[in-house]
Every structure is written in structure tokens, then in C-alpha cells.
């Protein structure tokens, strides 16, 4: 199982400083099993395997907690699109930018 952390505003992935809430998306065997929401970005640190944003931002807290930061290939992506991109390895690693 993988857990994705995604900053959300109006059901779209946004940078953390613009987010209304943060989604914890639980993926098991290629399918979304559950989505939980938290109000604070810090509540994702140490709780997710991947932290996903639409552009570069401070992610060292996630790196130190063992999570890999990833970036979306385009803006305006919703959770379903991000999960699909994750499963098909279409998200960008911070190291590849």
C-alpha cells in the first residue's frame, strides 16, 4: 500500500501555501482504497510515502521523514488524475527537474 499526500483547493492540487486541506490518498493494488483529509500540511509529514505538488516547494521535512516528493506534469490536476499519473509513473521526481 502507498499513501500519497496532496495539497488541495477546490478539488485541485495546489501548492501547500494555497491549500484549503490536505488529502491522504491510500492506494492498494492499483486502486484508491480511502481518502482522508487533514487541515495541516504538518499532519502529512511521516504519514505519507509520497508528497505531490504542482510546483517546487519546501519538501525537506518530507525527505527527512522518508517520503519522496513528486511534481505533477501539469497544473489543474484533481486527485483521480494524480492517482492515474502516479500509477503510470508520469509524476516528476524533484531530482529529475
Interval 52-85: pLDDT, tens: 999 889 999 999 999 999 999 998 999 999 999 9
Q: What pLDDT, in 10s, does the model give residues 27-46? A: 999 999 999 999 999 999 99
- pTM of the predicted model over 0.85: yes
Range of the domain at 54: 2-96
Structural domains counted in the chain = 1
Where does residue 89 fall: left (phi above 0), alpha (psi -120 to 50 degrees), or beta otherwise? Answer: left
CATH number, domain with residue 32: 3.30.420.130
Residue 97 is predicted with a pLDDT of 47
Amino acid at each position: 500500500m502507498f499513501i500519497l499526500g496532496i495539497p488541495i483547493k477546490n478539488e485541485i492540487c495546489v501548492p501547500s501555501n494555497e491549500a484549503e486541506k490536505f488529502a491522504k490518498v491510500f492506494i492498494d493494488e492499483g486502486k484508491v482504497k480511502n481518502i482522508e483529509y487533514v487541515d495541516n500540511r504538518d499532519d502529512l509529514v511521516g504519514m505519507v510515502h509520497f508528497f505531490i505538488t504542482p510546483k517546487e516547494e519546501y519538501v525537506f521535512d518530507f525527505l527527512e521523514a522518508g517520503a519522496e516528493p513528486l511534481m505533477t506534469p501539469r497544473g489543474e490536476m484533481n486527485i483521480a488524475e494524480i492517482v492515474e499519473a502516479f500509477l503510470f509513473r508520469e509524476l516528476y521526481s524533484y531530482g529529475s527537474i
